[in-house]
Amino acid sequence: MAYFAWTDELQVGNSFIDSDHQKLISLLNQLHEAMAQGQGKNILGKILDELIRYTREHFKREEDHMQKIRYADFAAHKQEHDKLIKEVVDLQAKFNAGNGMLSVQVSGFLRNWLINHIMKTDKLLASALKQAAA
């Protein structure tokens, strides 16, 4: 059983957003599993890099779509994205500078962040995208 299982409740009803989120969740599961197995700094670092890279790519995709429809909540939504990226990059810097330990609080924090962001902010975006396409 995965640490963070995809459920229908997480579905926002937009195909690119939903498939991006599934990929993010799978990367987070990889990170969690590698931590649980006590993998070394090299492997953890690589998964963390990929998680950050993919998160940036995903956020950019959402932001491009928001701009395309002149989304009214663009600024607030982007602010949530920017804040998360900053926190994760800070975390990565600490990880790179330190002994290669990541606490399980990291995956817990990321999981909660994703759930909250998807359930509120991204669901609003998905319905606005749907409306704009209609």
Nearer Cβ to Fe ion, position 27 or 122? 122
- Shortest distance (Å) from residue 50 CB to Fe ion: 19
Residue 95 to residue 123: CA distance in whole angstroms? 32
**In which residue are the tokens 């953890």 written?**
44
Contacts of residue 40, Cβ cutoff 8 Å, sequence gap at least 6: 100
Tokens 């909540």, residue located: 73
Q: What is the DSSP letter of 10?
A: G
Nearer to Fe ion, 59 or 102 (CB): 59
Q: Rounded to whole angstroms, how far apart are CA atoms 27 and 23? A: 6
Please say which residue, 12 or 102, places its beta carbon nearer to Fe ion. 12
Beta carbon of residue 114, minimum distance to Fe ion (angstroms, whole number): 10
Angular region, 117: left φ>0, alpha ψ -120 to 50, beta rest? alpha
Minimum CB separation from Fe ion for residue 100, in Å? 30
**Segment 23 to 62, residues that bind Fe ion, using CB under 5 A:** 62
Residues 59-118 touching Fe ion, rule: CB under 5 A, are 62
Pick 46 or 78: Cβ nearer Fe ion: 78
Name which position in 34, 35, 122, 126 contacts Fe ion (CB under 5 A).
122
> Where does this chain bind Fe ion (CB under 5 A)?
62, 122
